[in-house]
Amino acid sequence: MSKYVIIGNSSAAIGCIEGIRKTDTEGSITLIASEPHHCYGRPLISYYLEGKTDAEHMKYRPDSFYADNGVETMLGENVTGIDPITKTVTLQNGNSLRYDKLLVATGSSPRVFPAPGMDSVEHKTSFMTLNDMKYLEKHADQRSRILIVGAGLIGLKCAEGLKNRVLSVTVVEFMKQILPSALTPKAAARVQAQMEANGIHFYINNAVGEYKKAPPASADSVTLRDGSEVSALLANAESKYPDNTYTAVLKDGTEIPFDILVLATGVTPNTALVKDAGGTVNRGIVVDADSRTSLPDIYAAGDCTESVDVTTGETKIMALLPNAYHQGEAAGRHMAGAAAPFEEALPLNAVGFFGMHILSAGSYTQDILLEEDTNEYYRVFYGEGDKLTGFILIDKYARAGIYTDILRHGTPITEALLKEPGLLPFSRECRDEILTQKGGKN
């Protein structure tokens, strides 16, 4: 009977459990995770702050999941080392555990760029975990002014989640656009306008040079797009911490008063366990399509790994939930002896801000095949000839998955498909495969 050990408790870990159990219902599975919680949908922490979900509904799988799958959990435990020779993992509490097959699904950690005075800021957090969410729930209220550094997905979802709970939300981004790793400048500008219309303040192409424990030197130094917010921002007396006000001094001299700092300047894959054990690590842990690392019987999946983007052939970190699940599942299946490699990894994002929906996939380096820019929606497709390599759809996204599937499989794209996604432009044989008894695909 195989002994499986999984480090981590997010989508890659759950995918692994479900992958193992498709084949092996007997082997023992032990799951070790540093977070002391039942598995939860990590991206849901912003929806919780926004009031769109609650602790119960955030659970990624039902309460009975571990018991149903014969998983022994060790939650709140840290793994300090892996010995690939004796096939053991060592825990911080000194215990060690033997494995036949091991999954490392350790995720990533916030990457912080220190600035002078940052350490002195009393209320600050990242925004990646349930505990971060609880911290903000506890400390942020109607009198709090929030400063978010970093306008990636994490920072912006945090901004949206907090907006109606707090006095003001200001976002500072180093790059020349928001969502630099997910969108083109043009699409990003559209999203920024949407967020600004909903009261989020932005300082783009800027950075915090220094944090000071004091109100801003003068009111004139704060220039916001929405003039009505200026007085609210400066009304320190309204702040929750009137005697404990901080000011962020930006590179261009702008001073932003705030009470709570959220650091969302990117993440670093947690690769140390595999690296220290002698496994190959570039920026992320190197794995194949079965999620095997360079070390025998050690697998890795999710945000701690790097994998091949099918739309470009490049190896990169694609720290996105669907990829994490698929990688974890591929690991589990291979561990249990019924390999089903995951060879369709690609950048993929569906995200909403204040009612605007942005669905994107692939890469945006090729020619524009079609662009539609209207007041109601925006759609752009990238590719070369009849090969689609990426797309961005804002507020017109019905059946977007048909495009994603074209990216996954390199299916030739036609003008009719670009105009309107559907199955009609495909061949009769292809449709029969999907829609009739003749097809066994599904």
Q: Which residues bind other proteins (CB under 8 A)?
A: 14-15, 22, 39, 41-44, 47, 52-53, 57-61, 321-322, 325-326, 329, 348-352, 357, 359, 361, 397-402, 404-405, 408, 421-424, 428, 431-432, 434-437, 442
Render 72-116 in DSSP notation, one character per residue: EEEET--EEEEETTTTEEEETTS-EEE-SEEEE---EEE-----T
Q: Which two tokens stand for residue 394?
A: 């804002």
Residue among 3 and 59 whose Cβ is closer to other proteins: 59
Q: Which is nearer to other proteins, 234 or 330 (CB)?
A: 330
Nearest approach, Cβ of residue 424 and other proteins (Å): 5
Least separation in angstroms between residue 43's CB and other proteins is 4
Q: Which is nearer to other proteins, 7 or 324 (CB)?
A: 324
- Distances in Å between the Cα of 248 and the Cα atoms of 196, 217, 260 are 20, 11, 11
Q: How far is the CB of 257 from other proteins (least distance, A)?
A: 32
Which of 241, 354 has the CB closer to other proteins? Answer: 354
Of 15 and 257, which CB lies nearer to other proteins in the complex structure? 15
292: DSSP letter: B
Q: How far is the CB of 379 from other proteins (least distance, A)?
A: 13
Cα–Cα distance, 140 to 335 (Å, whole number): 45
Q: Which is nearer to other proteins, 265 or 404 (CB)?
A: 404
Q: Rounded to whole angstroms, what are the CA distances from 185 to 182, 192, 195?
A: 10, 10, 15
Q: How far apart are the C-alpha atoms of 180 and 58, rounded to whole Å?
A: 28
Angle at CA 189, nearest 5°, toward 185 and 190? 125
User: For other proteins, which is the closer residue by CB, 292 or 326?
Assistant: 326
Closest CA to 183 of 392, 395, 323, 397: 392
Q: Is 134 helix (H, G, I), strand (E, B) or coil?
A: helix
The minimum distance between CB 196 and other proteins, in angstroms, equals 22
Please state the separation of Cα 315 from the chain's center in Å. 18
The sign of the torsion formed by the CA atoms of 225, 231, 232, 236 equals positive
Query: By C-beta, is 197 or 338 nearer to other proteins?
Result: 338
Question: Could you tell me the smallest distance in angstroms from the CB atom of residue 269 to other proteins?
Answer: 19
Name the minimum Å distance from CB 42 to other proteins: 8
- Contact assessment for residue 63 and residue 38, using Cβ atoms and an 8 Å cutoff: yes
Taking CB atoms within 8 Å and a gap of at least 24, the contacts of 113-119 are 113/265, 115/207, 115/208, 115/209, 115/210, 115/211, 116/209, 116/210, 116/211, 117/210, 117/211, 117/212, 117/213, 118/211, 118/261
Tell me how far, at minimum, the Cβ of 97 lies from other proteins, in Å. 27
| Contact predicate 119/261, CB 8 Å | no
